[in-house]
Structure 1
Amino acid sequence: MEISRLQQQVDEWIQTVGVRYFNELTNMAILTEEVGEVARIISRRYGEQSEKESDRTKDLGEELADVLFVTLCLANQTGTDLQEAFDEKMKLKTKRDMARHQNNKKLK
C-alpha cells in the first residue's frame, strides 16, 4: 500500500470514528510518547537493559504502528504529502550515500 493511501485511510478513520484530529501540539506529544514506548522495547529486548516482566508482552509492531498512525495524522494536519516527501528523501539518500556505505569498513 502506498503512503498516500495510508494517509487517506487515517483521515477517513478520523472523520468517521475519531471525531476530529487532536491539535498538532497534542499529536506531537503523543508521537513523542509512542516513540518512547518503541525505545523502551528496543532497549530492553535488544539492548543491555534487562526486560521487566511487564514489558515482555509488549508488541513492537503495535508500537511502531502507533508511531506511524500519529505521523500520518500530523502529515494530514499540516498538508504534507508523505509519499512525495518519502520518494524525494529516498532519491536524496541514494545520491548522497551511493558509495558512502559501500566504502565503510565498519560495515564489512
Structure 2
Amino acid sequence: MEWTKGGRKVEKRTMNSMQKEVDDYISQFKEGYFHPLSMLARMTEEVGELAREVNHQFGEKPKKAEEKENSIEMELGDILFITMCFANSLDIQLDDAFQKVMEKYNTRDKDRWTRQES
C-alpha cells in the first residue's frame, strides 16, 4: 500500500515491517541490542531531547544561536527507533502491545471523556 507525502509516493509500512527493519539494522553489529536498563536510559535521553525541542518551539526558552537545528519530528523518530529496539530485544511485537493497550483504553476509559457529537 502507498500514500503520498510532499508529492512523492511512499510505501506504507506496518509496525512488524518497521521492527524487522530495525532488527536487520542492529543485527549488522556484533554489539547487538543494549541491555534493557541501558535502553531505558537511552529512551529517557531521547524523551529529554523531545522535551527540549517542544520547549524551544512552544515554550519560553528560545534556542541558542550555536545550537544545532533539530525537530520534534526527528526526536519522535528517535523515540520510535529506541522503542522498537527495546521491544525487539525483549521479543515483544509492538502491534500486539498496541492492540492490548487500545482494548484497555476502549474499556477502562470508555466513559472518561466527553464524546464529540456526531
Identify the match of residue 27 of structure 2 among 1, 6, 15: 15
Q: Mapping of 1:23-102 within 5 angstroms? A: 23-55=35-67, 57-102=69-114
Separation in structure 1 between the aligned mates of residue 15 and residue 24 of structure 2, nearest angstrom: 14
Aligned residue pairs total 102
What is the identity, as a one-letter code, of the residue corresponding to 1:26?
S
- Which blocks of at least 5 consecutive residues in structure 1 are unaligned? 104-108
Name which structure has the greater RCO, CA cutoff 8 Å, separation 6+.
1
Separation in structure 2 between the aligned mates of residue 8 and residue 79 of structure 1, nearest angstrom: 11
What is the identity, as a one-letter code, of the residue corresponding to 2:48?
G
Aligned position for 1:106: none
Deviations 1:34-59 (A, max 9, x none): 11000011122112333333457212
Separation in structure 2 between the aligned mates of residue 6 and residue 92 of structure 1, nearest angstrom: 24
Separation in structure 2 between the aligned mates of residue 21 and residue 9 of structure 1, nearest angstrom: 14
Separation in structure 2 between the aligned mates of residue 48 and residue 90 of structure 1, nearest angstrom: 34
Separation in structure 2 between the aligned mates of residue 83 and residue 54 of structure 1, nearest angstrom: 40
Separation in structure 2 between the aligned mates of residue 95 and residue 49 of structure 1, nearest angstrom: 39
Structure 1 residues 55 and 90 mapped into 2: Cα distance closer, same or farther (>3 Å)?
farther
Alignment check: 8 A CA contact 1:34 1:66 kept: yes
TM-score by length of 1: 0.81
Higher strand proportion (structure 1 or 2): 2
- Which blocks of at least 5 consecutive residues in structure 2 are unaligned? 1-12
Q: Percent identity?
A: 34
